[in-house]
Chain A
Amino acid sequence: MEAFQQMLSQAGWAQGMQPWALSGLAMLFAGGTILGGVAVGAMFFIWTERKVAGYIQSRYGPMYVGHFHGVLQSIADGVKLLLKEDIWPTDADKFLFRIAPLLVFTGAFLSFVVLPFGPDFVGASLDIGLFYAFATSSLVVMGVIAAGWGSNNKWSLYGAMRGAAQVISYEIPLGLAVLPVVMSVGSLNLGTLAEAQRGWLWSWHLFNPIFFVSFVIYLISSLAEVNRVPFDLPETESELVSGYHTEYTGMKFAFFFLGEYADMFVVSAIAVSVFLGGWYTGIPAVDAFVPAPLVFILKSVFLVFVQIWLRWTLPRLRVDQLMYVCWKVFIPLSLANLFIYGLIRSMVG
């Protein structure tokens, strides 16, 4: 937002505007940019997912739309979804059914406010950034439950209940895993957390043995948090058809999809700013001339690619295995990790 505010204060047509109008405009521009980025980015991720899936399975994936490797396939799909008839089950709870895609997409989109794309490129540099991001990701659970309950469909409800149980369970290791880093930096502001990793590659939090354990726990839990394989039990195509969005068509379905891919980017971006050096490249000389948002986005896109890669490589877990991993492995492990870090710090200072 700061970058937009600077640009506006230098622009000729914005001279003589009230300061509040100026910052309001800057907010709108920042929000609009991110909204456009989310929409286009999600389409790009969907195309990437299909291409990666294709090549992993020895086929091509989309090839025709847009001539070059089907790059425009997602746009064609978007237009199709826009033109598709909207149907809903007769006995559905209409209010919940309609509000669910709204919650899922808005919850995912709101997390973008705190993502630090660069020192000046952050929607709002909230001091409770990390906490805020976890809170908005809980909105998505509400959407999932509303979709499952509102659809009046057994598959949807099973998917939604599993989804809720899984997401809230994995929120605990997710929160505990980042705590050692928060203790070391002393801030929940994602920008400050990234700033603490300035310098050479080994100053990234990833290369601290205790934070590395945190990173592994975070990465695996975040996969469960966004319902991706091997934790895609809420969707399980082979048993629940499509899980909580079985009954959705057209634009409503599109927003579930957009929300899912936006969420994938959000958890990756948080991992990048907390563990992987934020917008720093790891070589101080290079940092001087490489644009910060580019570095940040490339790192996040790489983590999204890892998520896609895992999806087409690993089989799905069972429900009991999923809960076993969370409650009996990750939570004790992250508590122990936190304890060891605190112990070392209380002795060393």
Chain B
Amino acid sequence: MLIQFATVFVFLCLGLGFVVVSQVISHLIRPHNLHPAKQTVYECGEDAEGSPWIQFNVRFYLIALFFIVFDVEIIFMLPWAVAFNDMLKTLGAFAFWEMAFFITILALGLAYVWSKGDLEWVKGLQSRDLREVRPLSVLTSKDAAPHGRVKVSEHGG
């Protein structure tokens, strides 16, 4: 087992070495004529306005949160799946129903998130069409930022 992970380590060294060595070779033979104009940020020829390091839209973080929940679930299910054949012999159908119960709880979580509208990429649109104001959705809706202000959204700025 250990020798197998030694192979992984050798591959890691080879991969890193390949990248580093070719960068060094490239460094030795390429031209070095830096100029401030070359080192400006490329934004289609316009001068860049402001820094991109801004507060980012919360949607991305929500997705990351959901991901963690489901990824932990998969990590939990992998050993179960590997041992499934053996467990069927010793435990019978209980091996399946135990996990089915667990998956149902998670599926309920997904259904809850879904019904709350957190899986909608543009959450504001729905409430705007219904002409109803919900305090929570206003915060995330597209109309939240008054006109003229720089909106912190992926397409804003």
Contact = CB atoms under 8 A, between A and B. Distances in A.
Binding site secondary structure of chain A: helix
Contacts of A335: 103, 107
B63 A323 contact: yes
Interface stretch (B18-26, B127-135, B138-146): B18-26
A37 interface: no
Contact of B6 (A27, A89, A151, A154): A27
Given A123-B7, A123-B11, A165-B64, A345 B88 contact: yes
Binding site secondary structure of chain B: helix
B154 A158 contact: yes
B96 A328 contact: no
Nearest to B8: A113
Contact of B23 (A125, A161, A175, A252): A252
A188 B74 CA distance: 13
Size range of the chain B interface in the assembly? 35 or more
Interface residues of A, number: 87
B121 A320 contact: yes
Contact of B66 (A23, A164, A327): A327
Contacts of B40: 89-90
A324 interface: yes
B154 A162 contact: yes
B148 interface: no
A36 B110 CA distance: 44
Contacts of B25: 82
A343 B95 CA distance: 10
A298 interface: no
B122 interface: yes
A161 B60 contact: yes
Interface string B85-122: 11010001101110110010001001000100001111
Contacts of B3: 23
A152 B60 contact: no
B77 interface: yes
